[in-house]
Amino acid sequence: MAYYIGRDVIVAVTTEDAALGVDVTAGGEVDTFAVADGSTDTVFAGARAYKNLADSPNTGILDRSAVFGTQGQDVTADYTNEVSDLTGVDVTMSTTDEDITYIGSKQVMKTEIKKEVTLTITRKKTSSAWESVFNSARHGVESANNFIGNVNPARSDYGYRVFLKLKSEGQVLTLPNCCVVGHGVTISADGITEETLEFFSYGTPIVTAGTASSDPIADTTVF
């Protein structure tokens, strides 16, 4: 398990769809938007292929750094994939093993069955967007205004793609095919109200080099 303070990292979220992003209207309705149009609503995740070339995580994403910063330049409405008001990120990686024994052998072997990665994001609560996504769009985008249901997560367009960038070094951890499995709100009488969103993936994490932030403290929106 690794925990990162919000001022030290940047988190960006995209869908696994090449053309559609997910946003939430002022009334709390989950909607999709085309990258050519951008969005004037609260953006939860942009499209996978816009400024982040449509490349499978199995062969390597050609330009991971492009998911950060302003998206949709010269379109109707610019937007960003980054999570604002970030306070902390918790990453847990594990594997599920199975014991195998053979007749006549005393030795027990372990075989890896699957990988499990959980990424939990905590931020200052500023809207109901995360709650709306948790209730209506946990598994990603099927088509325009249509969201994937409870299906086999092995399909290539399933879920969301989460990017975690270390500001000081520029390294980027990419988690493909994530589903949203948890949401919670922490209320404090003498402090800020925070909320958490939990992503889960069976995919293999990808670590790539990136560009470090020139001033990691100055470009944070947390403190």
- For residue 78, the model assigns a pLDDT of 84
- Determine the pLDDT at residue 106: 76
* Residue 221, CA distances (Å) to 10, 70, 126, 153, 182 in order: 10, 15, 13, 33, 24
DSSP class of 24: E
In a domain, 144, yes or no: yes
Residue 214: the pLDDT is 53
pLDDT along the chain (223 residues), means of 10: 89 91 93 88 88 49 64 75 93 82 79 84 93 94 87 84 89 91 88 91 84 50 27
pLDDT at 72: 66
pLDDT of residue 5: 92
Residue 85 domain-assigned (yes or no): yes
Give a yes or no: residue 215 inside a domain.
Answer: no
On whether residue 216 sits in a domain, the answer given is no
pLDDT at 74: 61
pLDDT at 113: 73
- Has residue 17 been placed in a domain? yes
User: Does residue 222 fall inside a structural domain?
Assistant: no
Q: Which pLDDT belongs to residue 51? A: 64
Asked whether residue 141 is domain-assigned, the answer is: yes
Report strand pairing: 30-34 vs 20-24: antiparallel
Q: Which residue range is the domain that position 59 belongs to? A: 2-208
Which SS3 state, helix, strand or coil, does residue 4 take? strand
Total domains in the fold of the chain: 1
CA dist., res. 37 & res. 98, Å (int) = 48
220 domain-assigned: no
pLDDT score, position 150: 75
User: How many H-runs (helices) and E-runs (strands) does the chain carry?
Assistant: 1, 15
What is the model's pLDDT at position 94? 83
pLDDT the model gives residue 155: 83
Half-sphere CA count of 171, side-chain side, radius 13 A: 5
